[in-house]
Amino acid sequence: MTSQGAEHFRLTVLNPGGRDQEQQFHNLRAPGEGAHPPINFHAFAACTRGAFHFSPRRAIAEDTPVLLLLRSDFRASERALSDLKKQGRTVAVSLKETGLHQIAQQLRDGAKLSRFMKIVAEADGCIATTPEAAQIYQRVRTKRDPATVTFIPTPYPVEDQRWNFSLPANEQSGIFVGTREWDVPSRNHFAALLVARQLCEATGEPVSVVNLDGHKGRRLLDELRFPEGKLRLIEKQKPYPDYLRDVARHKIVLQLDSSHVPGQVAGDALLCRAACVGGDGAIERIAFSKTCGESRTISEIASMALDLLKNPDLRAAIVTESQERALERLSFQAVRLQLANFFAQFAASDL
């Protein structure tokens, strides 16, 4: 399908029983407008000018293909799949949480695993936001056409200048630590903080850390003994645009996440036109392949981060390359075309 043909493709994302407000994305809104920013699975609806629902009845009324999210104990998702198929809808499914640690945690329960196997086998297709999740779906659907499983990365509106949060280089300083979860081993948050402290000591650059754990988080950070006055804490949940403005003030975004997640840390960096260092998420590997953490040691990542902090031309080159790759593979236009082509195979099979 051509990009012109894909212009007419609309997708409904259904999160049955979820808490996110239902939303129509007839037009991409500016930052701060709308109930939910066009990120994560909302972005699949937004990039196709579709809808995001938690009610199967309303999803059916959209009369479009559906991306059904699997969440909680999967019971609501199982019922929704049955209702959608009875009404003749084409349904692709995806786990709502797709990091490898999240998949393992969800499927260690026997009843949930049984429902997962049944849903994935019965759906028309599967859309994975990481290559690893796609491989898992494919192995469940061994008797189905491999083309009915695809990896499509989470889109970001990089082509829309309203979502460009960049700042001039002379207004940027410091390191933004992209992770915040102390208790998820694969996030490697503690190790990232140690690297950030080392970089701070070597360059004098300040470090910003999100701490939503209150006194407990502050106590842990105090133990790391950052240089006086060089640690900035962000301790309140902020609207997404305000959060991006915080990120954009930094020279680099640093992480050591090894969870193989979709890659929101790198996606945020794309909107901020910031260099992202470390991490093995899907977007990290696509947009920041020269600085991501895939197959690299902590020492190698720390060395790259140091080079980027010292060399503004190198930072600019990494940002330019990341934007080029994002426009090709991660932009709303690019992902809309991928989605349209994927669902077109099911329309053709019905003829």
Go through the domains of the chain in sequence order and give each one's CATH number.
3-155+331-349 (3.40.50), 161-329 (3.40.50.2000)
Question: What SS3 class is residue 42?
Answer: helix
Contact present, 179 and 255 (Cβ < 8 Å): yes
φ, ψ (nearest 5 deg) of residue 214: 60, -135
**Splitting the chain (351 residues) into consecutive groups of 10 residues, what average pLDDT does each group show?**
78 92 88 88 97 95 97 95 96 96 94 97 97 97 93 98 97 98 97 98 98 97 97 96 98 98 98 98 98 98 98 98 98 97 85 49
Contacts of 196 (CB under 8 A, 6+ apart): 175, 177, 207, 209, 254
161 CB-side CA count, 13 A: 0
pTM of the entire predicted model: 0.95
pLDDT for the residue numbered 75: 96
pLDDT for the residue numbered 7: 85
Task: Tell me the C-alpha distance between 77 and 33, whole Å.
Answer: 29
Instruction: Write the DSSP string, 294-344.
Output: TT--HHHHHHHHHHHHH-HHHHHHHHHHHHHHHHHHTSHHHHHHHHHHHHH
Instruction: Write the DSSP string, 244-301.
Output: HHHHHTSSEEE----S----HHHHHHHHHT-EEES---HHHHHH-TTTS-TT--HHHH
Question: What SS3 class is residue 101?
Answer: helix
